[in-house]
Amino acid sequence: MAWSAAVLLAAGALVVAELSAPCPAGGPLAFGSCERVRPFAVGVVLVAAALYVAGLSAVLAWTGGLLRRGVADPRAARDWYVLAATLGLVVAPLLAFTLVSGLR
Which residue segment(s) compose the domain that 28 sits in? 2-102
Residue 14: partners with Cβ closer than 8 Å, 6 or more residues away: 28, 29, 45
d(CA 1, CA 8): 11
- φ, ψ for residue 36, nearest 5 deg: -100, -40
Name the domain count of the chain.
1
d(CA 23, CA 86): 34
Dihedral of alpha carbons 16, 22, 27, 31, sign: positive
Write down the pLDDT at residue 28.
72
Write down the pLDDT at residue 79.
93
Write down the pLDDT at residue 72.
87
For residues 92, 97, 99 and 101, what is the CA-based torsion angle, rounded to 10 degrees? 180
Write down the pLDDT at residue 18.
83
Write down the pLDDT at residue 25.
67
What is the mean pLDDT of each successive set of 10 residues along the chain, which is 104 residues long? 88 88 72 77 93 94 93 91 93 94 86
Write down the pLDDT at residue 32.
66
